[in-house]
Amino acid sequence: MQRILRLLSLLPLGGLTLPAADAIRTGAVADTYAQLCAACHGAQLQGGSAPSMLDDQWLVGGDDASLAKSIREGHPDKGMPAFAATLDDKQIRSLVIYIHEQRAIAARAQTKFNAPKDDVVASSQLHRFTLKTWADGLNEPWSMAFLPDGRALATEKRGTLQLIENNGRKLTQIRGVPPIDSGGQAGFFGVLPHPDYANNGWIYFSFADPQKHEGRSVTLTRIIRAKLRDGALVDQQDIYKAPLSVYPGPGGIHLGGALAFDRDGYLYFSIGERGHGPNAQNLSVPMGKVHRVHDDGRIPADNPFVNDSSAVPTIWSYGHRNPQGLGINPVDGTLWDVEHGPRGGDELNHVRKGLNYGWPVITYGMNYDGTPMTDLTAKEGMEQPVRHWTPSIAISGMTFYSGDLFPKWKNNVFVGSLAAEELRRVELRDGRYVSQEVLFKNLGRIRNVVTGPDGALYVLLPTRIARLAPAE
């Protein structure tokens, strides 16, 4: 402290004048930081005349509220000016996100992560494991499901479906797949057998459906079911197809596409807001929602908005940005989702009937270009995530671990991530977040993770599916 004060006394603090509010470059948060903060806290937040913001030594506090308060009110007695008159709440919020981001980047550079090659034993907090290639030669597998006879089906983003046999050794491309738009974030998404597949043979699929409407190409997430016969999909039936008038343009972003059956046999599926935030709050369009239907696509009489004539009756919950993972908690049968935030604010949510998950009104993130979006992270009538990731890890698919090979991981959530290339284990208790760890990192983008019938975890990597099993 003595040293800081001595250093501060060398600075022309008395003469420090803040730029006029209209002279602040508000475009990107990195500019704002460089312009207003770097001189004292260091260009990389490493500290200088003012304390480092990268270590865990906080004078006031490193939580969102304390950071915002420090910036707003400053520490005038210690030489930090107040910024309340210079920066608005949104700009202060984007600086808070920026501080979290820079801390995570610095922490990651200091951490040695597992990136196990086949047959190399990796350790983690509770179990030692190996990660071995199980099926090779795939092209961006998006989801996978096992059939009762041990075979598996994997969708590939580009619009193909692979049947995987002989314990991962034999791949056959299935014929009769519907036309699929695979531009941008569009593609072939979910595959999920009916809970009673052994008797009825139904398999459910979600995909980006390319259509023509009034002469224009349009695309939206569509759900079908079909049967697998002689290497082809047959008996296709629509489970959910929106009216073409609401289909946005082709390719594009935020299509959702996750599928889950709950214990009562209801099917849930997600559709992202297609890059238009207000869709998520608009009950008259299917985008930005989690939906619930009977296994044949009929609308359950107890869906929350069935009696609202202006609402899409399949909606179960709304205010979602881009949910790419759905899972049923084996402890209590509840529905959960993981969804991409913008820059910051990826979420794990407990998804409940009729509730609003807040996007784009509340979020823990900001715009990708570093401009602020909102300072609101919470609001009456809007649900908080159970956990959020800031900075974003670009969260993808999820599974609740329900196998027996890893007893200490039972009922934990496993989530993959695209940009951060991480597999994370998240521990919940009574529906609340307890802890998490990164099991491995840097083996490529992870689109999904599945609990296999053998109790191993199957991780979908860019060109292969790897089996995560206990180290012998």
Q: Which residues are catalytic?
A: 254
Tell me the closest approach of the beta carbon of residue 31 to ligand HEC, in angstroms.
11
Count of CB atoms situated within 10 Å of the CB of 287: 27
- For residue 164, give the 3-state DSSP assignment: strand
User: Quick one: 16 or 471, whose CB is closer to ligand HEC?
Assistant: 16
- Write out the two tokens for 443: 């083996």
Phi and psi torsions of 22, nearest 5°: -80, -5
147-166 mask for ligand HEC (x: CB under 6 A)? --------------------
Question: Which residues between 190 and 219 bind ligand HEC (CB under 6 A)?
Answer: none
- Write out the two tokens for 289: 């929602």
Please tell me the distance from the alpha carbon of residue 296 to that of residue 314, in angstroms, as a whole number.
13
> Closest Cα to residue 320, out of 293, 344, 284, 287?
287
Q: Computed from CA positions of residues 157, 444, 172, 153, in that sequence, does the dihedral angle turn out positive or negative?
A: negative
Tell me the closest approach of the beta carbon of residue 75 to ligand HEC, in angstroms.
4
Judged by CB under 6 A, which of 24, 26, 83, 129 binds ligand HEC?
Answer: 83
Sequence letter at residue 390: T
Answer yes or no whether residue 59 interacts with ligand HEC by CB under 6 A.
yes
Answer yes or no whether residue 40 interacts with ligand HEC by CB under 6 A.
yes
Q: Rounded to the nearest 5 degrees, what angle is found at the Cα of 128, between the Cα atoms of 126 and 132?
A: 135
- Write out the two tokens for 109: 């550079």
Answer yes or no whether residue 61 interacts with ligand HEC by CB under 6 A.
yes
User: Quick one: 106 or 171, whose CB is closer to ligand HEC?
Assistant: 106
Strands 170-173 and 188-193: unpaired
20-39 mask for ligand HEC (x: CB under 6 A)? ----------------xx-x
Answer yes or no whether residue 84 interacts with ligand HEC by CB under 6 A.
no
Write the CA distances from 123 to 126, 129, 218, 417, integer angstroms: 8, 6, 47, 20
Judged by CB under 6 A, which of 29, 50, 260, 428 binds ligand HEC?
Answer: 50
Tell me the closest approach of the beta carbon of residue 103 to ligand HEC, in angstroms.
11
Peptide bond preceding 360 in cis form (omega within 30 of 0):
yes
User: Quick one: 80 or 466, whose CB is closer to ligand HEC?
Assistant: 80
Tell me the closest approach of the beta carbon of residue 457 to ligand HEC, in angstroms.
39
Report whether 349 contacts 357 (CB < 8 A).
Answer: yes
User: Quick one: 80 or 326, whose CB is closer to ligand HEC?
Assistant: 80
User: Quick one: 34 or 378, whose CB is closer to ligand HEC?
Assistant: 34
Tell me the closest approach of the beta carbon of residue 1 to ligand HEC, in angstroms.
7
91-110 mask for ligand HEC (x: CB under 6 A)? ----x---------------
Answer yes or no whether residue 370 interacts with ligand HEC by CB under 6 A.
no
- For residue 270, give the 3-state DSSP assignment: strand
Please tell me the distance from the alpha carbon of residue 222 to that of residue 274, in angstroms, as a whole number.
13
The helix or strand, by DSSP H or E, that contains position 274, with its residue range, turns out to be: none
Segment contacting ligand HEC (CB under 6 A): 56-64, 228-236, 246-254, 418-426? 56-64
Judged by CB under 6 A, which of 19, 44, 63, 75 binds ligand HEC?
Answer: 75
Answer yes or no whether residue 60 interacts with ligand HEC by CB under 6 A.
yes
User: Quick one: 60 or 471, whose CB is closer to ligand HEC?
Assistant: 60
Q: How many residues at the interface with ligand HEC, by CB under 6 A?
A: 22
Count of CB atoms situated within 10 Å of the CB of 188: 27
Report whether 440 contacts 432 (CB < 8 A).
Answer: no
Report whether 336 contacts 350 (CB < 8 A).
Answer: yes
Q: Residue numbers of the site for ligand HEC (CB under 6 A)?
A: 8, 16, 36-37, 39-41, 50-51, 58-61, 67, 70-71, 75, 78-80, 83, 95
